[in-house]
Amino acid sequence: MTNDDILRFVGRYSLGRDSNPRNYEDSLHFLRFKVPGGFITSEQLRGVAELTQKYSKNLAEITDRVDIQLHWIKSEDALDIFKVMEELGFTTDMCGQGFGGARYGDPRNIICCPASGIEKDEIIDGRPLMEKLTKYLIGNSDFMDMPKKFKFSISGCGSDCVRGVTNDLAFVGVKQGDDIGYT
């Protein structure tokens, strides 16, 4: 990545409180990381809480794509935050950031029925497909220039709780006779 590519994104997600957006040392940013399917362990949640206490004024934002955003991030704290995120198993990949040479960015976090695996009327558990698709897309340069904010959803419940029609590519569980799969 060239210096121009890097500078294009420095301060891009600034909170707008900076008097001089080119004063990177005092600039505040936000950091978005993905929670595949919205499934998070208690250990990960405690880790997020610790990050918010130390770096983000005790606040975290959960997005409609079930990403988590930390605001008020100082540039000098970013590497420490990334280290903790990696230890917790999080990535910023598939969160809509841009890449050098890419016009639009990568696909957004895949959402999945929150009751996957436990809903009594579930047609198919969407978690295995969500995990497989997430692993396939992360870091895959073939998907870093998708249409802007390209969104996937996976729903194995009969009610299509993640509203597949509002996503660019939706996998909705179906049953036909003894066959179960996605449409």
Give the chain's domains with CATH numbers.
3-88 (3.90.480.10), 111-182 (3.30.413.10)
Is the model more confident about 129 or about 157?
129
Distance linking the first and last C-alpha atoms of the chain: 39
Q: Give residue 98's pLDDT band: very low, low, confident or very high (50, 70, 90).
A: low
Could you tell me which residues are beta bridge partners of residue 105?
Answer: 145
Q: What is the pLDDT of residue 76?
A: 87
Q: Is the pLDDT of residue 161 over 60?
A: yes
Whether residue 14 has pLDDT greater than 50 = no
Q: Which two tokens stand for residue 182?
A: 């996605």
Q: For the chain, what percent of residues have pLDDT higher than 70?
A: 78
Q: Residue 118, CB half-sphere, CA atoms under 13 Å: how many?
A: 5
What is the per-residue pLDDT across 32-85, written as a single tens digit (0 to 9) for each?
Answer: 888 888 899 999 999 999 999 999 999 899 988 888 999 888 888 988 998 999
pLDDT for position 145? 72
Give the pLDDT band (50/70/90) at residue 179: very high
Classify residue 148 as exposed, middle or buried by CB count within 10 Å of its CB (0-12, 13-18, 19+). Answer: exposed
pLDDT of residue 168: 93
- What Cα–Cα distance (Å) separates residue 50 from each residue in 38, 40, 87, 161? 19, 15, 13, 31
Beta strands in the chain (DSSP E): 28-34, 61-62, 67-74, 111-112, 152-155, 169-176, 179-182
Q: Is the pLDDT higher at 105 or at 150?
A: 150
What confidence score (pLDDT) does residue 127 get?
Answer: 95
Please tell me the predicted confidence (pLDDT) of residue 167.
92
Helix ranges, the chain (H): 3-9, 42-55, 78-88, 127-137
Q: What per-residue confidence (pLDDT) applies to 23?
A: 52
| Average per-residue pLDDT for the chain | 81
